[in-house]
Amino acid sequence: MHRLRWLLVLILCTGLIAPAFAADEPAGLQVGQEAPAFRLEDQNGKWVTPADFHGHYLVMYFYPKDFTPGCTTEVCTFRDDIAKLRKAGADVVGVSLDDVKSHAEFAAKYHVPFPLLADSDRSVSTTYGVLKSGSHYAKRTTFLIDPQGKIAKIYEDVDPEKNSGQVMSDLAALKVAP
């Protein structure tokens, strides 16, 4: 019995049976893939879709919850960098599972000059693969979407204070790349 356990551990650790499990899991979004469509309401009650940003880069960042320390840091950093981001040809939207009312209060308190989108039914967070398993929160993940609607960059487990700067650096690099 002892040898059988070790054999099972060895098989699992070497990944010999991982493909069988991987087939049951949804594939994550990849760079170069078409960004999934969405239609969400912002803090002002306006419906927002990807077509609103056609011809521009779109920074679509998912965050866990309005008024929490990390999320406040992140929204304020994007707010402070919005002029530079727009000059680089990018628009910004924040997305969480909070409702429109919460976003309106959050945006008003921190003078947010870009849409905060309410994904209250979790559909967009699920489609983008950022819904925390067994949770009522989105993972802190940012997607940089190019002017043609394709995913140019994915940032996972981002640092709320550094995310905007990372995006600006990558925007500069993408604009000079052939």
Tally of residues, the chain? 178
Catalytic residue among 35, 71, 104, 131: 71
Helical (H) or strand (E) element with 87: helix 69-87
Residue 76 bears catalytic tag: no
Distance CA 94, CA 103 (A): 10
Distance CA 93, CA 95 (A): 7
Contact (CB, 8 A) for 126 and 117 = no
Identify the bridge partners of residue 130 per DSSP, sorted by sequence position. Answer: none
Distance CA 113, CA 62 (A): 16
List the catalytic residues: 71
